[in-house]
Structure 1
Amino acid sequence: MHDPLTTETVDLLRDLIRASCVNDGSPASGQEHRAVAVIERYLHGSGLVGEVVEPLPGRTSLVVRLKGHDPAAPSLLLMGHLDVVPVHGEWSHDPFAADLVDGVVWGRGALDMLHLTASYAAVIKKLATDGTRLAGDVVFAAVADEEAGGRLGARWLVENRPELIAADGVLTESGGVPLAVDGAVRGVTVTVGEKGLASRRVVTTGHPRHASTPYGSSNAVVTAADAVLRIVAHPNPAVVDDLWPQYVAALDLPDDVRAALVEPARLEEALPAMGGLAGLAHAVTHTTIAPDIIAGGDKINVIPSYAEVQLDVRTLPGVTGDDVDRLLRAAIAPLGDRARVDRLPSADDQPASRSALDTRLFRALSEAVTVAYPQAAAVPVVAPGGSDGRFFRALGVPTYGFGLLSDRWHHEDFRRLIHSTDERIDVESVDLTVHALERIVRRVTG
């Protein structure tokens, strides 16, 4: 049996899953007003009064501030998103029924990141109702549109209503994955930064003619395919920063594999030994380029004169958009004037971001890790994907992704379930997370 705080958090999580705020990237999707209504009902009677913002109809975010008694004391923002990605594939349970089976909550968004959003709401409600008088402010933001870049959520708030979410530190997704060696948890991940984004497209041209005689033709689609193969094969050396060796040291791997993983020249040969974590290891040590969308031609019997390949490019710290352009142009240079690199007009470059480790907030996270896992230390990591945290790191606000998963979790499982089928979270992880967050808030704003 769990205490009332955990039970409330699990119930709220299930209601948020059922709100089914699916964001497919279109302006009318998401409809986070449903989840905002769920949280407002949950907070009713607590004395907390939030402000709702709505950049577009239905795309709402809720911000609640619990005022402290000392304006000079540190303040903390707990920021969780409400939207979830679309559902694909066959699920063992209805992805929006929020089934609770054998101590596990199933559903889209359970892991990313509705269990954290529910925990934030539960913590601020408890602090508001149990007679606690904190020195600093605690802010809870339940935001829209994270899964499509935050333009209608956290980014909109930063650019248009910064006073609502102003704080000295931020907690958001994701982290808290235990790393076990010989069956004992020795480390727990804390996300301290994330890679940047520099989306590009390669545009190729050809000469149209009847497709019944393709030999010798200049086909833009064929050139696009050639460009993709050249980009994928282009040299892209590994980069080992100061955080990666700390993560490797906490993994249950043979010593020779550990040694290879922290040497840039040998890192790629060691990736197969990491099994399901090989993709993560590659991503956080390389600027990655993924050709994800290709289009060309408009009639099946005409050789296409135009094609384009859209590239998802994730950059390491210090890698600029100009660096990406140079790399791509070098890769496709043999194609001459049949191929060029363009920046996607709808996507601006976003640099990699990282927060310092010598902060009051990071120390509080480290303490919370040790309380839950006495033999473990906080292991700072950089996330391969993006989150709303980047908007606050850009302002110089220390921002971390944190939660606490139970020891049934492995990092491979966590990565496998994000945005995938059968997404779920166990109640024990919710219990660890909500109590760790309460402890952290009291420690930081205390």
Structure 2
Amino acid sequence: MIDVDSVVEDTRTLISIDSQNPGPLEAECADWVVSRLERVGLAVQRHEVEPGRDNILTQVAGSDPDAPRLVILGHMDTVPIGEGWTYPPLGGVIDDGRIYGRGACDMKAGLALGIGLLDALVRTGEQPRGDVVLVATVDEEAPGMLGAHQLVRDGLIRPTDQVLAPEPTGMRLRQRQMGLRWLTITVTGKMAHAGRAHLGIDANHVLAEIMTRAKTTFSALPFEDGILGRARFTCGTFHGGVSTNVVPGSATAEFDLRIVPPMVPEDAVGIVQRVADAVMREHPGAEYAIELLGARRPPVGASDDAKIIRDLVEAYVEHTGAEPEIGGADGHEAYTDASMIAALTGSDSCTVLGPGATDQAHTADEYVSLADIELGAELLWTLVRKW
């Protein structure tokens, strides 16, 4: 069995290591993960993504070289700590059945579970049928998701791999993920004295019209997925102008476009372009430019027949007496390294299930419940023994 007490202590240690992205990044965390795995007696590989940023890989060999591998996929970086904390953000404080700290649920508890699984396999001498691989990546929280891209470029993921990312899902099965596209749109108008505003072109006004119409267009899209819901539009940032009494000559905004099948990221960008073109025709002299941000992220999903899905459901039923929830407030809108690997490889055997409430990720006083860690340990151990 996985030693839950050890997983809890590893989670607390990982929380104490500052791995904010952007910020200190993952080097110290990677060093600790390597040391922890080597103490178990595992051979550990480091694969450079950027100078000072390495993906970490280790495995326990299975008895059947032809059996599909189980890949446990975790990331070492966290979002910035931010403000508003009542618990020490790097403290790993345990209070009322919860561990608090930045990365507690996203996803240092999940990474600690993966470490605990391999530790248990070595300690007990239990040999799985297929290889059990643990991968710890960098840069999952950034737009480019460089760690996942490098993992695929390095050929470390096989077509038959069954991939599980123990990201926070409230222990629900996140079988499908929304697609998304980030972009920056900049409108160029013409500066003028606010008292002679008719001589200028108000870039703020023009961009605001694009934003409003684009949001309305997304809300009216006819596509609705039974699990993922409907497409969503968010204007995350909006900046423009230089002074109260000056007609703004330029304005810039960042859009977050969340999409569901049958849409792909290019469809979302095309909607914004068509809206912007229409607004430009109403404001002669204004211009706009779009810059795409981060990686292309189409909607992805695991097949009902994928081994990882069937075996996870069986393990969940064995321990809880009920099938895991798949729809609902379980973070299907979040894009993980497992999602990116599915997008890059076309795999239909990548999924997400792990400890911690999705709503707690990226918040002040982020936490993971001890109960989720305990259930996660039981599910992983059963999953491997059934493999």
Separation (CA, whole Å) in 1 of partners of 2:157 and 2:216: 47
Aligned-partner Cα distance in 1 for 2:140–2:313: 26
Aligned partner of 2:13 in structure 1 is 15
> Which residue in 1 is equivalent to 2:386?
443
Q: Describe how 1:39-438 pairs up with structure 2 within 5 A.
A: 39-149=33-143, 151-159=145-153, 161-163=154-156, 168-174=161-167, 176-177=169-170, 189-215=172-198, 217-234=200-217, 235-237=219-221, 239-241=223-225, 243-244=226-227, 284-298=228-242, 302-332=246-276, 333-336=278-281, 342-379=289-326, 383-394=332-343, 395-397=345-347, 398-403=349-354, 414-438=357-381
- C-alpha displacement at 1:223, in angstroms? 1.6
SS for the counterpart of 1:383 is coil
The answer to whether the 8 Å contact 1:143/1:154 transfers is yes
Change (3 A) 1:30 1:158: farther
SS of the counterpart of 1:318? coil
Residues 131/321 of structure 1: CA separation in 2 closer, same or farther (3 Å cut): closer
The CA deviation string for residues 331-371 of structure 1, in whole angstroms up to 9 with x for no partner, is: 44144155666442443432111110112211111112212
CA contact (8 A) 1:144 1:153 kept: yes
Q: Which amino acid aligns with 1:391?
A: M
Deviations 1:353-391 (A, max 9, x none): 111011221111111221232134452677112111123
Does the 8 Å contact 1:393/1:399 carry over to 2? yes
Q: Distance in 2 between matches of 1:321 and 1:101?
A: 42
Alpha-carbon deviation of 1:198?
2.2
Amino acid at match of 2:15: I
Distance 1:108 1:308 in 2: 31
Task: Give the unaligned 5+ runs of structure 2.
Answer: none
In 2: Cα distance, 1:324 partner to 1:341 partner = 17
Give the secondary-structure state (helix, strand or coil) at the position aligned to 1:290: strand
| Distance in structure 2 (CA, Å) of the matches to 1:285 and 1:376 | 21
Maintained 8 Å contact 2:210/2:279: no
- Structure 1 residue matching 2:247: 3-state secondary structure: coil
In the superposition, the TM-score normalised over structure 2's length comes to: 0.89
Q: Which 10-residue stretch deviates more, 290-299 or 433-442? A: 290-299
**Contact map agreement 1:174 1:190 (CA 8 A) in 2:** no
**Residue 9 of structure 1: SS of its match in structure 2?**
helix
Q: Against the structure 1 CA distance between its residues 121 and 322, is the aligned structure 2 distance closer, same or farther, given a 3 Å change threshold?
A: closer
Question: Match for 1:9: what amino acid?
Answer: V
Task: Indicate conservation of the 8 Å contact 1:50/1:64, yes or no.
Answer: yes
Identical residues among aligned pairs (%): 25
Contact persistence 1:150–1:156 (CA under 8 A): no
Shift of 1:226: 2.5
**Residue type matched to 1:369 in 2?**
Y
Q: Which moved more, 1:32-41 or 1:227-236?
A: 227-236
Normalising by structure 1, report the TM-score.
0.78
Structure 2 Cα separation of the partners of residues 340 and 348 of structure 1: 26
1:341 to 1:318, Cα distance in 2 relative to 1, 3 A: farther
Residues 400 and 341 of structure 1: CA distance in aligned 2, closer, same or farther (over 3 Å):
farther
The runs of 5 or more residues in structure 1 that have no matched partner are 179-188, 245-283, 406-413
For the 8 Å contact 1:77–1:165, the answer to whether it is kept is no
- Residue identity matched to 2:346: G
Aligned-pair CA distance for 1:326:
3.8
* 2-structure distance, mates of 1:164, 1:325: 30
Counterpart in 2 of 1:34?
Answer: 28
1:53 is displaced (CA, Å) by 2.2
Answer yes or no: is the 8 Å Cα contact 2:235–2:253 preserved in 1: yes
Deviations 1:15-37 (A, max 9, x none): 1000110002xxxx343121122
Shift of 1:146: 0.3
Question: Distance in 1 between the 2:311 and 2:147 partners?
Answer: 27
- 8 Å contact 2:313–2:323 — kept in the other structure? no
